[in-house]
Structure 1
Amino acid sequence: MLNQKPAPSTDTEYRSPVIRIEPSPVAIVALLILVAGLWVLNRLLPVILVLVAALIIVGTISPAVRWLEERRMSRGMGIGIVFTALTMVAVLILTLTIPTLMAQVTTLLDLEPALRSRLAKWLAGSNLTNPLAELLRNVHSGDLVRMAASNAYEYSTRAIEICAYILSSIFLALYIMIDRDRLRGGLFLVVPRSHHIRLSRVMLNLETIVSGYIRGQVITSAFMAIFVFLLLKACGVSNALAIAVFAGAVDVLPYIGALLSVGAAVSAALPHGPTIIIVVLVLMVLYEEFESRVILPRIYGRALRLPSSVILFSLLAGSVLLGMVGALLALPVAAAVLMLIEELRVELPGQQEQAEDVEIRERDDRGEEEYERRAEGMPAEQAAAIAVEIATDRHKEENTLTKTDAPG
């Protein structure tokens, strides 16, 4: 017989290795700093949003102020004219919409019993909708008023807070516009001199992105206002102009703007019978769908140079992360990120250098050499002005070449 050796112990043969993770002190400190930074960022989020809103206002009105400066008007006078004009437009919109909407709400409250009874009678005609009719008969306008009154304090506090943030953004934008040269000089002091031209190009492109975004908002709001006005006029609805202005103003709000505009138009059509209500509701819903699927991608795609897929994804991501504010900032932030990747020459995975990239790099080097020669020995404010001038000239040159090379 063959002698069989005992099988080796499984404890010694199949012992799994022990993995120990021992982070270095530097990694621990970096993690703590990251956590602390995220906490501070979360606490300062309202302040950051106010700053971002102020910068958007600055980017919006800067082209108008520059246009006035080119016509030999002082910068202070130009800023005053632009801010005064915007204030008058805002007051005009509020004057046209708020009293009419309040009167509309009062009228609806007066007509609510008759409208509710008519709707309940119509729903009671079917066995499927009969439970809804019973529910409507048991609902009274007084209950809704009491519910709204119970939450009035919370809503008013929130409204005052939002108004305070808006006013803070406006005044901060005004201070930034007035003290532009000093602030720009301070920014250039903390950036290495070899990157001043690139910084100027980034600032110029950010201004272009913001102005394009605001221009797109104005166009879409104008289309909405015109459509609502024509629709309500064709249906014989009163106060069509005020409702149209309100619909155009709230159209800038992603998602909730559609609900407010449709709700305002349908509410104005309620006293005119079910046929007008259905026509207004169906046409408003169709237009909202057309705007979101066709108008928004085309307008913002051209103004911000964003593909339609990026526009839709940015709106969804912004709304999930920061709600309505995130949805409002999603498109300019997405365009700014793509611009920074291009201007900072970030090499993406799988990207190969093209002949155009070599030409761009050579133009960057020539621009930096020209800036070093012209800004030598100058203070930060004057050096910043020279860098912006060089970046502006190059931007105009590139736009001219793009239009020349464009087909047709």
Structure 2
Amino acid sequence: MLDRQITDRIRVLVVLSRPAVAVLFALYVALGLAQAGHAEDRLLLAGCLIPVMAFLLCSVCVNDLSDRAIDQVNLPGDRNRPLVTAAAGSRELVVTAVVSATVALGSAFVLGPRPGLLMLAALAVSAGYSLRPIRLADRGAVAALALPACYVALPYLLALTAARSAVHPRDLLMLFGLYTGFIGRILLKDFRDVRGDALFGKRTFLVRHGRRATCLFSACGWTIGTCVILAATPRRTPALVCSYLLCLALALVILRILAGEVGHRREEALITGAAAIGRGMLILQLAHLAMSQAGWGALAYSTVMGALLALTLVQAAGMLRHGPTTGLTIASLREGATASPGGVASDRRASHIVRRGT
């Protein structure tokens, strides 16, 4: 019985860590180290991952607590939301958030004063994003600009400043490219949550401006981010440039399709396909920096870059065809059986908002 309880608690922590988001955090940490010239420093990588992952766990707990009512509408039965499924209680998430924040702040200061101060600022932004009276999550475009400060700037700058004290203009240019590209991708998350966001008055960019404007703004973020990253990349090669431009072209095609009227399942597949392309571009950038610093030969370099590009395209194609492997549960049978006419009207209202904006 005790073993079962321990296993359940570990499973809840894994779910709260949001594995897909954790992979992104790890990629940005690795990119920060690679930008600082420490792409192969595994000990420093591990040291940077501890505070970053603790920060992620704290942020998720705080966000889930503040968005509980919205998640019950957007994600009923979703096992990635322990509060919604009652796999964990509010008190448990509060304790987890406090402990995680303490670990994040303490381990960041172990790396140095600059990483520690960055973590302190990131925790403040994360709290302001989810908690009232500030609650940036309800402020549309402001939320889309603030969230990347935690998702991109923190792991990248924490790793960079842990590796070396000086921050060069090229480092900031790379950060701007990563930041802008992430804004283009994070806007697409609002499609999944539009129903609850509209019902609870959460004025996301999608709710405020509609489907076409959101896809256009996202396309601008993808394009500007890609160009800036390439401009900031040292020793860029034709293989990297061609790979990035191909990925960008595919992402823009996906956004063009998403801007039209598509069903929910097709919409979900398009968004996950775009996410796969975004992750692939980060991996390509990391591989380029690591191989360039290690002095790989042209043939080996081109082979690896080609393989990573092919893997990205295959994964994106699979997502576009089949959607995510663990699709979200929109409504359980129990909820569907007790659905009220008001719920149907709310769905129609949300759909109208997505199509035309407000």
Q: TM-score if structure 1 supplies the norm length?
A: 0.27
Which structure has the larger Rg?
1
Q: TM-score if structure 2 supplies the norm length?
A: 0.30
